[in-house]
Amino acid sequence: MSRYASAGGGPVNASREFKQMVKALHSAGIEVILDVVYNHTNEADDPNPYTTSFRGIDNKVYYMLDNDGKLLNYSGCGNTLNCNHPVVMELILDSLRHWVTEYHVDGFRFDLASVLCRGTDGSPLNAPPLIRAIAKDAVLSRCKIIAEPWDCGGLYLVGSFPNWDRWAEWNGKYRDDLRRFFKGDAGMKGSFATRVSGSSDLYKVNKRRPYHSINFVIAHDGFTLYDLVSYNSKHNEANGEGGRDGSNDNFSWNCGFEGETDDASIRALRSRQMKNFHLALMISQGVPMMLMGDEYGHTRYGNNNSYGHDSSINNFLWGQLDARKSDHFRFFSKVIEYRHAHKVFSHENFLSKTEITWHEDNWDNYESKFLAFTLHDSNGGDIYLAFNAHDFFVEVILPPPPSKRSWFRVVDTNLNSPDDFNLDGLPCKGNTYNIAPNSSILLEAKF
């Protein structure tokens, strides 16, 4: 696309600059995952035809149609690509191979990938030819392949996406369960424990591993992290669709006031909640995914479907990042560094009973919103974690640390920066810890 080139430099320059970008990122140790949309084209629906590509050339081949020749709409965009037709399959596979061989991208995230699991009449397929072909293709074999395992027609395949032990998935249940736990919904403790420990209920099948779960709380669709803790409802008036667009099921909590406020207590609670979400994401088994901007607390002012705005609500605001480098951003970056430095958070296989201890004796207590557990390190550097979603303090008795070690506090999300994260840790006094409302702690066993 010409507009992707510097100063509108044309398609050749756009292609060259993309290659230069990939090369520079690879030099910095950063992989490139391309977000691809093969579920629809831009040609809209039957009442609003927009002819730019396949429309009118061979609708029967390229689109899913009903018995009257009308476009089926499983994409939410008016049309649905006929992905498992041999001709369309070939087009998609050639496209993917091109991105790998010509641009050297490292993998793909497939938008509304459940569409790719439908037959020519729209019915779900148990073994979709396209999905299998992508998994088995010689050129694509080294690539990471990630499915968004649902579509707008209700085909929800989280945990059951046809995978050939290759496909990873956006774990939508992880997103929803963590949101509900931290907003204080009752009965979520068991689900929260399952999600942070790798979602074995979804992915411990055949040769799948924890890394087949792409864990996330926030994505490009929906609320930012800041808005998740600042709005109970979407505010999409600026989109021009009368507020009908965007998800209504956000599992968000505004912490006591809708939108911006000068109330110090509400602002402090929102800060804690954002840190709670981030800590949980970074200590979870599986692959963590963040949204750009959450590291400085970006807001779209409650708009959860902002894709059409070329403005500050979608722009990365470098000034805000600079302003928050010593507090919010510091905590987020330090926790990411901590995950990288401790392999106990990224096991190759699902956790065994010797690798985690749940400090829990009332799993069936529907009103309990507190969870604590210890991740055991083979070298004795155990890590104790506790998450308190109650609106009151919870005093816990700490488990005995490994031999000759003591517990040191690395994280307490209730504390202000820089005390909320201390890499060296501060020694814990006594064998109890009083965990503040809506906060989390991380303790490390050290000599």
Q: Of 66, 106, 148, 412, which residue is the catalytic one? A: 148
Q: Of 43, 111, 177, 420, which residue is the catalytic one? A: 111
Residue 111: active-site member: yes
Token pair of 270 as six digits:
């929102």
Single-letter amino acid, residue 420: D
Instruction: Quote the CA–CA distance of 346 and 288 in Å, as a whole number.
Output: 10
End-to-end distance of the chain based on CA atoms, in angstroms?
57
Are 79 and 73 in contact, with CB atoms under 8 Å apart? yes
Q: What is the CA radius of gyration of the chain?
A: 24
Instruction: Quote the CA–CA distance of 418 and 412 in Å, as a whole number.
Output: 10
Instruction: Quote the CA–CA distance of 98 and 384 in Å, as a whole number.
Output: 46
**Annotated active-site positions, please?**
111, 148
